[in-house]
Structure 1
Amino acid sequence: MWFTRVSLKNPVFATMLMLALVVLGIFSYQRLKVDQFPNIDFPVVVIVTEYPGASPEIVESEVTKKVEEGVNSIAGINSLTSRSYEGQSVVIVEFQLYVDGRKAADDVREKVAAVRPLFRDEVKDPRVLRFDPSSRAVWSVAVLPEAVPSAAGPPQGASAPSGGSAARAAASVGATSFKQPSAVELTNWADQVLKKRLENVRGVGSVTLVGGSKREINLYLNPQAMEAFGVSTEQVVNAVRNENQALPVGSVRSLEQDRVVQIDARMERPEDFGRIIVMRKGGAPIRVDQVARVSDGAQELESLALYNGQRTLLLSVQKAQDENTIEVVDGLVKAIADIRPQLPPGVKLEPIGDAARPIRVAVQNVRQTLIEGAVLTVLIVFLFLNSWRSTVITGLTLPIALIGTFWFMAMFGFTINMVTLMALSLCVGLLIDDAIVVRENIVRHVQMGKTPFRAALEGTQEIGLAVLATTLSIVAVFLPIGFMGGIIGKFFHEFGITIVAAVLI
């Protein structure tokens, strides 16, 4: 065969070609992303519309049906389902698998925007969400209150120091003691400092704060006082709303300068709300603190996070689309390590969830199986051939083919996952059997007294077509797997193409 003759007459060219495949494969391997499963795009779009206080029947007639009629004209829809709940409408649009998920979401947003003017004013703006299996949280950390050192006196039974030593001891205790932060202070620090630090990590899509208690100024009205002063609830609400705001007035221009004028009337302290004038009665002002009690506290809990039965704050991190989970988690761990020395007193961070760990374990197990299979294959070849030289020559096909496959995986945009590593594991046996047959036939010709060059040329030509037919038959079996339809076909696309690339190399 022509490539056999070219390789025998130009051994340097053949060696450099194999080395080029190995070098390209090594560089591609360093750039391949690692994930548990292939990155699959499911073209499913969800439309969520809230209608506060509406019954399911009203939600269906006023919202759901209008959304369905609006998006039904989009091309490529496979199924359209809807759910109408109390105060909420959910419409699920499933497209054909060949439709790009991002384009489908854009088409749905365009149709929903056209339907929005038909809704009542009470209906909130619809939210269009694209279904993404990788949008789940990949990492989470808990913000816990740390044990506070006691600033009390010496333990019972211990003698108290006297003189200067007592003063030094008191100074030491006062220096080490600190106040445990409240839930509001902890939430403010986590929201303004920790959350922003995590959002700056490369590959992070969003950070969600769960179990937070944000600061809130509450006004508790006194019905008796309101009745005595003749003040209504609406008057109090309007007074607080109108007085607590910053408004632009305009600008004052002259030949020399241009000044911007604005009203800065936002309350800076909680007690300022009590000084707001609600109304005037008989020339005397009636303030908020005369008809209500101002309380500086926390807002009602909308979510709760517990750690070992203890209330805590949880920051849940989602990665951006098409980002590597392991790289994102490594960046988050490094960010937490950098911020630990800067933690305020009484606060500690405890990582809770790590989606990269099962990926590392699964990929490492398959990788270990691949290495063990290759080593056992080489040992079995040595036992049967009983020649280290033949074993080494035959065994070189494995690293050259497997490492070179990483180059094709990078070109096709594949990742190192359980499916592609399983394909490489299966290729171990498929790759070495042809090398064994060719090597044995060459050895037979050498034993017949031919020169190594002539034995290699004639031995390869003798069974070259048979080996080529075997290789092409394997390609014919696994190539259609890479182009199967349906969800299963998307999972096995990388499997079939990886096997074909490894066998052809």
Structure 2
Amino acid sequence: STGLVSNIITQFCVTVIISTLLSLVASFTIIPWLSSRYGKLEHIEGKNLFGKIILGFESYLTRFTDWVSGLLTWCLDHYIKTIVVVLVLFFGSTIGLMGGGFIGGEFFAASDSGEFLVQIEMPKDASLEQTNFMTQKAEAFLKKEPFVHSQITTIGQTSEGLGASQATAYKSEINVKMVGLDKRDEPANVYAAKTKRKLEKILVGAKVKTVPVGILGTAEDATLGLIVTGPNVETAMAFAKAAEKELRTIPGATEIELSVEDGNPEVNVQVDRDKMAALGLSLQTVGMTMQTAFSGNTDGKFRAGEYEYDINIKYNAFDRKSIEDVSNLIFINDRGEQIKLIQFATVSESSGPSELERRDKSASVTVKGQNVGVASGTIVSQWQEKIDKLEKPTGVDYIWGGDMENQSEGFGTLGIALLAAIILVYLVMVSLYDSFVHPFVVLFAIPLSFIGAMLALALTNNTLNIFTILGIIMLIGLVCKNAIMLVDYTNQRRKAGESIRTALIQANHARLRPILMTTIAMVFGMFPIALASGAGAEWKNGLAWVIIGGLISSLFLTLIVVPVIYEIMEKIISKFSKGEKTDYEAEMVADYVHQELSEDGFNPKHTL
């Protein structure tokens, strides 16, 4: 696969591939060698506790095997009812659970890292001292909270967005580290949401926001994102505000904001180009002079030994405080004359957007938000329904950002990987079986595993994300193994002269034990991952539950449904062959003739 998903799961997949190949080598070499040296046949009589447990287990296993064989016989006689029940289970557990909202969709499962950011925003004209005073109130409150372990504060800057490195006097950020999971009874995201409500009552006049910490230790990008584009900022902003209003009505959406804010105070300078040219000034000269005066210019350097320092040249703070300071800015024209800005420009106070954002060469505004307690994919689907009802102005369009953008790419990549895995498994089996039909029967085990996988996700409150889809892809090889064992043994019994029905029942009876053993081993091996509760364990919990659920459902359904499909396929082949013998029946006759001709005294015609 390619893209972001590939970077995340490539190492995981390579590990699985290498370990599987090494286990294959070990099963052909080390295991037989150890068995030949240390294996011995024991006759357990039940004279001790261990023996009684083994005999008791064998008794129950025999009864279970007989029950499964009896159930298979009934299903073979009532194959239409069996297929209907399986179809109901399949569509109910996939379309029903996902469509009903029991299984949400998201790019990553929400993870409890035990850390979050408190971001405080004062009015835009607030000074650094006022922001510091308000932040100290928040620090004092957090210091008394029992679940807070430590905090690191930054005044005048936040780690969110493209302007993370720019100083902003009216903003501050507190990085809150919580105590371990064993010392608290609330997830970090839930505690952060409660903390926000408490701080809003304490920090009157300030906006408070709590944001998860991303993998780089900075503010995590918004999981919910709608990028609205339009011919100009005003048009895009109007539709973005309408979409923001709809998002606020959806449960689970929090920390909702627009990337571009209105009402940012600014000094607007409208230059009269004719006057400017008549006075001997160029737009480049005017622009560079204003930038140097109010933002500074660091072209000059000061060198002290081996070190070099920037020299920032700009107006001092007293000369750049008011609109009059801007109006009286002096320029030198090409004749050496001093000219004030007010002589060729209109200077006024106004308000405008906090920043200018563009997407695909169009003005854009992004509606951003976080999700708490509800999967981001579920919120986006509800949001989509509400946005479709809004009136969209001419020229305005939108695309999904946030997790939905990654989710669409990731799910598409993994969907192709899933399809490729099924095709590759089928082609490998075609070459091994030398048949196109029997591998097709084996593939029916794959949807049977989806039933248990989806039920496991719903029951454990996990979502469909890149890791759970990876678990589904892994299931393909695991569940096909069970079906291969059944089909292969059935073919062996048919070659030995058994009828299709008898061969299927014998295969079911004989292969139940190895199928049960491998499934139980895999399920118990996955339980530690499924039940893990450390930091970031949520990413892997879903993968383990998918494999556990898929293996358990395929254990029972494969033993029943695959034989039913096998018999149906053989009936179809017999019907289309118009009474001619099937390949396996022809093989049986050929084997018998070869055996009889190898003995002396038999006539070929008589033998046939």
TM-score range, shorter chain: 0.5 to 0.7
Pairs within 5 Å for 1:82-121: 82-85=153-156, 90-95=173-178, 96-97=180-181, 99-101=186-188, 103-105=190-192, 108=195, 112=199, 116=202
Equivalent in the alignment of 1:339 = 392
Deviations 1:117-169 (A, max 9, x none): xx9xxx85572525375735512123324xxxxxxxxxxxxxxxxxxxxxxxx
Equivalent in the alignment of 2:87 = 19
Query: Are 1:318 and 2:318 matched, yes or no?
Result: no
Are the counterparts in 1 of residues 237 and 365 from structure 2 also a CA contact under 8 Å? no
Structure 1 residue 487 displacement after superposition: 3.5
Q: What CA distance in whole angstroms lies between the structure 2 residues aligned with 1:71 and 1:194?
A: 34
Are the counterparts in 1 of residues 111 and 537 from structure 2 also a CA contact under 8 Å? no
Deviates more, 1:381-390 or 1:417-426: 381-390
Are the counterparts in 2 of residues 29 and 407 from structure 1 also a CA contact under 8 Å? no
The verdict on how the C-alpha distance between 1:301 and 1:481 changes in structure 2, with shifts beyond 3 A counting, is same
Give 2:242's aligned amino acid.
K
Selected match of 1:129 from 210, 213, 220: 210
Give 2:127's aligned amino acid.
G
Query: Are 1:360 and 2:424 matched, yes or no?
Result: no
Secondary structure of 1:318 counterpart: strand
Q: What CA distance in whole angstroms lies between the structure 1 residues aligned with 2:66 and 2:491?
A: 21
Q: What CA distance in whole angstroms lies between the structure 1 residues aligned with 2:397 and 2:474?
A: 41
The verdict on how the C-alpha distance between 1:73 and 1:200 changes in structure 2, with shifts beyond 3 A counting, is closer
Which 5+ residue runs of structure 2 have no aligned equivalent? Answer: 1-64, 157-168, 214-219, 269-345, 554-608
Give 1:492's aligned amino acid.
K
Q: What CA distance in whole angstroms lies between the structure 2 residues aligned with 1:313 and 1:110?
A: 31
Deviations 1:80-114 (A, max 9, x none): 33334566653332333463235423653577579
Paired positions, count: 372
The verdict on how the C-alpha distance between 1:191 and 1:215 changes in structure 2, with shifts beyond 3 A counting, is farther
Equivalent in the alignment of 2:245 = 199
Equivalent in the alignment of 1:8 = 72
Deviates more, 1:8-17 or 1:473-482: 8-17
The verdict on how the C-alpha distance between 1:386 and 1:29 changes in structure 2, with shifts beyond 3 A counting, is farther
Are the counterparts in 2 of residues 74 and 108 from structure 1 also a CA contact under 8 Å? no
Equivalent in the alignment of 1:432 = 480
Deviations 1:156-201 (A, max 9, x none): xxxxxxxxxxxxxxxxxxxxxxxxxxxxxx74x6666662255336
Equivalent in the alignment of 1:47 = 118
Q: What CA distance in whole angstroms lies between the structure 1 residues aligned with 2:362 and 2:98?
A: 44
Equivalent in the alignment of 2:143 = 72
Deviations 1:284-304 (A, max 9, x none): xxxxxxxxxxx9976234512
Q: What CA distance in whole angstroms lies between the structure 1 residues aligned with 2:84 and 2:359?
A: 60
Which 5+ residue runs of structure 1 have no aligned equivalent? Answer: 146-185, 219-294
Secondary structure of 1:299 counterpart: strand
Deviations 1:444-486 (A, max 9, x none): 2333334444433333333322221111111122222222343
Query: Are 1:476 and 2:557 matched, yes or no?
Result: no
The verdict on how the C-alpha distance between 1:49 and 1:313 changes in structure 2, with shifts beyond 3 A counting, is closer
Equivalent in the alignment of 2:325 = none
Are the counterparts in 2 of residues 22 and 404 from structure 1 also a CA contact under 8 Å? no
The verdict on how the C-alpha distance between 1:64 and 1:144 changes in structure 2, with shifts beyond 3 A counting, is closer
Are the counterparts in 2 of residues 45 and 128 from structure 1 also a CA contact under 8 Å? no
The verdict on how the C-alpha distance between 1:298 and 1:214 changes in structure 2, with shifts beyond 3 A counting, is farther
The verdict on how the C-alpha distance between 1:42 and 1:190 changes in structure 2, with shifts beyond 3 A counting, is same
Query: Are 1:140 and 2:214 matched, yes or no?
Result: no
Q: What CA distance in whole angstroms lies between the structure 1 residues aligned with 2:121 and 2:387?
A: 37
Q: What CA distance in whole angstroms lies between the structure 1 residues aligned with 2:496 and 2:360?
A: 81
Q: What CA distance in whole angstroms lies between the structure 2 residues aligned with 1:421 and 1:450?
A: 41
Q: What CA distance in whole angstroms lies between the structure 1 residues aligned with 2:265 and 2:170?
A: 28
The verdict on how the C-alpha distance between 1:391 and 1:302 changes in structure 2, with shifts beyond 3 A counting, is closer
Pairs within 5 Å for 1:453-464: 453-464=501-512
Are the counterparts in 2 of residues 209 and 313 from structure 1 also a CA contact under 8 Å? no
Give 1:9's aligned amino acid.
T
Give 1:199's aligned amino acid.
K
Equivalent in the alignment of 2:396 = 349
The verdict on how the C-alpha distance between 1:299 and 1:452 changes in structure 2, with shifts beyond 3 A counting, is same
Deviates more, 1:448-457 or 1:393-402: 448-457
Are the counterparts in 2 of residues 378 and 395 from structure 1 also a CA contact under 8 Å? yes
Are the counterparts in 2 of residues 48 and 127 from structure 1 also a CA contact under 8 Å? yes
Q: How many percent identity over aligned positions?
A: 13
Structure 1 residue 427 displacement after superposition: 1.1
Structure 1 residue 21 displacement after superposition: 2.4
Are the counterparts in 2 of residues 366 and 422 from structure 1 also a CA contact under 8 Å? yes
Q: What CA distance in whole angstroms lies between the structure 2 residues aligned with 1:339 and 1:441?
A: 63
Equivalent in the alignment of 2:429 = 381
Give the alignment's Cα RMSD to 1 decimal.
4.1
Secondary structure of 1:300 counterpart: strand
Q: What CA distance in whole angstroms lies between the structure 1 residues aligned with 2:359 and 2:200?
A: 46
Deviates more, 1:400-409 or 1:413-422: 400-409
Higher strand share: 1
TM-score between the two structures when normalised by the length of structure 2: 0.52
Q: What CA distance in whole angstroms lies between the structure 2 residues aligned with 1:450 and 1:135?
A: 63
Q: What CA distance in whole angstroms lies between the structure 2 residues aligned with 1:308 and 1:24?
A: 41
Selected match of 1:210 from 260, 270, 275: 260
Secondary structure of 1:129 counterpart: strand
Structure 1 residue 501 displacement after superposition: 0.9
Are the counterparts in 2 of residues 24 and 407 from structure 1 also a CA contact under 8 Å? no
Give 1:416's aligned amino acid.
L
Give 1:138's aligned amino acid.
G
Are the counterparts in 1 of residues 494 and 500 from structure 2 also a CA contact under 8 Å? yes
Higher relative contact order (CA 8 A, sep 6+): 1
Q: What CA distance in whole angstroms lies between the structure 2 residues aligned with 1:198 and 1:112?
A: 23
Are the counterparts in 1 of residues 264 and 353 from structure 2 also a CA contact under 8 Å? no
Secondary structure of 2:537 counterpart: helix
Give 2:388's aligned amino acid.
K
Give 2:73's aligned amino acid.
K
Give 1:34's aligned amino acid.
G
The verdict on how the C-alpha distance between 1:81 and 1:319 changes in structure 2, with shifts beyond 3 A counting, is closer
Secondary structure of 1:10 counterpart: helix
Structure 1 residue 213 displacement after superposition: 6.3
Give 1:371's aligned amino acid.
L
Give 2:90's aligned amino acid.
V
Secondary structure of 2:231 counterpart: strand
Q: What CA distance in whole angstroms lies between the structure 2 residues aligned with 1:211 and 1:128?
A: 16
Q: What CA distance in whole angstroms lies between the structure 1 residues aligned with 2:67 and 2:384?
A: 46
Structure 1 residue 5 displacement after superposition: 1.8
The verdict on how the C-alpha distance between 1:333 and 1:298 changes in structure 2, with shifts beyond 3 A counting, is farther
Are the counterparts in 1 of residues 261 and 353 from structure 2 also a CA contact under 8 Å? yes
Deviations 1:30-63 (A, max 9, x none): 444333222335554433456843559x94xx66
Q: What CA distance in whole angstroms lies between the structure 2 residues aligned with 1:109 and 1:195?
A: 23
Secondary structure of 1:91 counterpart: strand
Equivalent in the alignment of 2:18 = none
Deviations 1:391-418 (A, max 9, x none): 2332211122225522332333333321
Structure 1 residue 425 displacement after superposition: 0.8
The verdict on how the C-alpha distance between 1:7 and 1:375 changes in structure 2, with shifts beyond 3 A counting, is farther
Equivalent in the alignment of 2:161 = none
Pairs within 5 Å for 1:298-309: 299-301=350-352, 303-307=354-358
